[in-house]
């Protein structure tokens, strides 16, 4: 894994009998004092933590879900994270409408029961798993197809761009493998939606904002811009790759998040980059979240001769 990692202290996971062997009294067990409850029959012991790798971008929600997942897997062998939970652990950009506070886990045992507030159990006939940063998780291809039931096509495209790209985490699968999975899996829910989404997913996309901008252009019946077209800039003797562009017309679209404005270094680098592209004969349109999209559409149409 090439992405940098941090390490977090996870409490030891104990059964009730193990907690008692470490000196927990009946009151400790009932009240959760010293050995707080993780799941029925499972306790945490903060006095003997173990370090586990976590992504540098992981927040308290990520850490809490990872800790609970470890506890459930200890109490219920064979349990794996799935759906929204797995997507969050992978670092995929879920839309606000599909964000769930529940921990979604899956098992292959059709008779399995897990009765715990905040945990949703899914029983699956075919359960393919992978270990992700020491966590038991459903394979990314299955997770992606599960999300079709709670995500729009646009959201699936954004997630797909992230999953095959190099965003928060290394690529989880290739576009070729995703296409084969969708076409080759029997009894796949929301197959038409998945097929439409897969047809719009592109490689080498750097951020959700780039995906949004590209899908916006398609929705306005504009030609689909190329992701990261190669532009040789002789004044710096480098090949630059603007976010999106129309190579034949030499028009580049550059999305600039707030960090482009607040970082003095990034601001200077952006100016040098735009100057190099302009001298190479390209026109650069800079886009932010506050850009007037109607005017942006008019500008693109005018430049491409689509008026």
219-259 pLDDT tens trace: 999 999 999 999 999 999 999 999 999 999 999 999 987 55
The distance of Cα 190 from the centroid of its chain, to the nearest Å, equals 20
Q: What is the mean pLDDT of the chain?
A: 89
- Which stretch of DSSP H or E encloses residue 182? helix 175-184
Q: Quick: pLDDT tens for 130-171.
A: 999 999 999 999 999 999 999 999 999 999 999 999 888 889
Task: Check if the beta carbon of residue 274 is closer than 8 Å to that of residue 287.
Answer: no
Q: Cα–Cα distance between 161 and 171 in angstroms, integer?
A: 9
What percent of the chain is predicted at pLDDT more than 70?
Answer: 94
């Amino acid at each position: 894994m090439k992405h940098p990692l941090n390490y977090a202290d996870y409490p030891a996971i104990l059964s009730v009998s193990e907690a008692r062997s470490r000196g927990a009294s009946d009151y400790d067990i009932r009240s959760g004092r010293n050995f707080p409850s993780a799941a029925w029959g499972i306790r945490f012991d903060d006095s003997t933590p173990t370090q586990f790798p976590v992504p540098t971008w992981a927040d308290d929600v990520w850490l809490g879900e990872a800790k609970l997942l470890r506890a459930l897997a200890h109490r219920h062998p064979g349990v794996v994270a799935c759906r929204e939970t797995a997507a969050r652990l992978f670092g995929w950009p879920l839309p606000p409408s599909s964000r769930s506070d529940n921990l979604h886990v899956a098992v292959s045992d059709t008779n399995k029961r897990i009765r715990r507030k905040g945990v949703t159990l899914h029983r699956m006939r075919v359960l393919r798993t992978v270990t992700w940063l020491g966590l038991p998780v459903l394979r990314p291809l299955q997770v992606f197809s599960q999300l079709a039931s709670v995500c729009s096509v646009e959201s699936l495209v954004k997630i797909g761009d992230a999953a095959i790209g190099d965003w928060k985490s290394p690529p989880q699968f290739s576009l070729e493998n995703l296409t084969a999975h969708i076409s080759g899996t029997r009894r796949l829910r929301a197959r038409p939606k998945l097929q439409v989404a897969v047809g719009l997913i592109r490689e080498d996309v750097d951020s959700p904002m780039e995906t949004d901008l590209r899908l916006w252009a398609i929705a306005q019946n504009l030609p689909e811009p190329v992701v990261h077209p190669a532009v040789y800039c002789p004044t710096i003797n480098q090949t630059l790759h603007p976010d999106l562009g129309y190579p034949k017309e030499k028009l580049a679209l550059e999305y600039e998040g707030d960090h482009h404005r607040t970082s003095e270094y990034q601001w200077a680098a952006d100016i040098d980059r735009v100057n190099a592209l302009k001298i190479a004969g390209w026109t650069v349109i800079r886009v932010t979240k506050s850009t007037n999209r109607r005017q942006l559409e008019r500008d693109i149409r005018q430049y491409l001769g689509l008026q």
